[in-house]
Amino acid sequence: MMLKPYRLGALLLALLAPPVIFPAPALAAPAPAPAAPAATAGRHTADQIGRFLAGFYGDHGPSAHDREHRVSQVLKDRQQENADADVLLCAQNKPHAIGIGAVTVAQSARVGWATVTTHWAAGDTDTFTAYVRLDSRPIRVDDVICAG
């Protein structure tokens, strides 16, 4: 089979011609990295809340000074209404020991919390949740929710 000269010329032109470059398909611009919320500045961190709660509760419960200066007015009022129980410990007596669990922080809710475990002389334990507002100045216990 013999190629006709014009076909051979067209083939040579096609082979020798610079490649046709088609524009690359437009790629979506990379999404910007999520910005850290600007509103977190000045708020307490999980580490700060954990250290605060450990110091606040200590081994046997908050001191008189902490009860006066490191507790929200809501809890002070609740304590006055419930004189027979300690609303900060969800108990009527002083525990043998207290442990603070991992702190969770919800920036959008502006609150952090941890489970507090009280240990009693008879070997029993009880738990409750202590809440801290992230923007409280000074840092203080804002609420306590008893487990039972």
pLDDT, tens digit, 9 for 90 and up, residues 24-79: 555 555 555 554 444 467 899 999 999 999 999 999 999 999 999 999 999 999 99
Q: How far is CA 141 from the centre of its chain?
A: 17
Name the more confident of 9 and 125.
125
4 pLDDT above the threshold of 80: no
100 pLDDT above the threshold of 80: yes
Q: Which of 117, 52, 64, 54 is nearest to 91 (CA)?
A: 117
CA distance 147 to 142: 17
Mean pLDDT of the chain: 83
What are the phi and psi torsion angles at 17 (to 5°)?
A: -70, 145
pLDDT band of 122, cuts 50, 70, 90: confident
What was the pLDDT predicted at 41? Answer: 72
